[in-house]
A = this chain, B = another copy of it.
């Protein structure tokens, strides 16, 4: 990560100026405000603003359920109940605004989550910095042989070196040419055209604002072991921030979403038979070979 001294000073200045508010304050996330948490080689996640806390989730739910919720004694119990039973609207009552710096190919995955507000740095208007994601050697991995969706073993020796050489050389050359094209004293090409020469590992940045329900949906998919490593590390950093912001909601999310398993009708039927002591095999399971494999991996732990 590379914050300029000016940027670092601005962050420190913002953090030195507490103000009074009548709003709900969540102490756990106040500690994060403005600070840039490094991700990958040049990226970061910074909390710019937030709205609400665990209590705000309950407050919204109690408007929903009014006197009906008296039986749920406390906030944590209510939050766990809401999460377990897929009541999404109370979680939408919390909101967070992040400043994220990330490679373009990560941004392209990220933006697929449509229920969020985004202001991205525009390479049509402005000039991108010379910053490119170059993986650490341990993350340069082969195409998975098991499926088409991920990466397998880390590449070794010459192969990894050759990949890194190509990435670095092509990035450097692309940026040199980008600079040459847009040089106001030279060619002076329109920025909106010149940007097309930059590869997908160039860094961009944006303000991203999202409610807690949709953030959890994002984190469930992107903090998952099957997510691409380069977006997963952002999701993991955000998990740590959210855990400090709304600890009850985050714990419920961990138990009922991140660590949960969805069992099909067939899987539940098999489970019931197995718990009654019956021997069940794939042949007698009413599942495909692939489904059976997924089922076994869950119950064998």
Contacts and interface: CB of A to CB of B under 8 A. Distances in A.
Nearest to A141: B190
Contacts of A142: 188-190
A195 B167 CA distance: 10
Nearest to A95: B95
A225 interface: no
Contacts of A191: 143
A21 interface: yes
A227 to B, nearest CB: 10
Interface residues of A, number: 137
B261 A188 contact: no
Copies, count = 4
Interface in A282-301: 288, 290-291, 294, 298-301
A174 B149 contact: no
A63 B125 contact: no
Interface in A18-34: 18-25, 30, 33-34
Interface in A185-218: 187-193, 195-201, 205-207, 209, 211
12 contacts: A22-B30, A49-B51, A63-B121, A66-B127, A80-B288, A81-B290, A89-B112, A95-B95, A140-B193, A143-B182, A151-B190, A151-B192
Given A15-B22, A64-B122, A152-B190, 17 more contacts: A51-B97, A66-B122, A67-B126, A86-B221, A89-B117, A114-B114, A142-B188, A142-B189, A170-B173, A197-B201, A254-B265, A259-B264, A259-B268, A260-B262, A260-B264, A260-B267, A263-B263
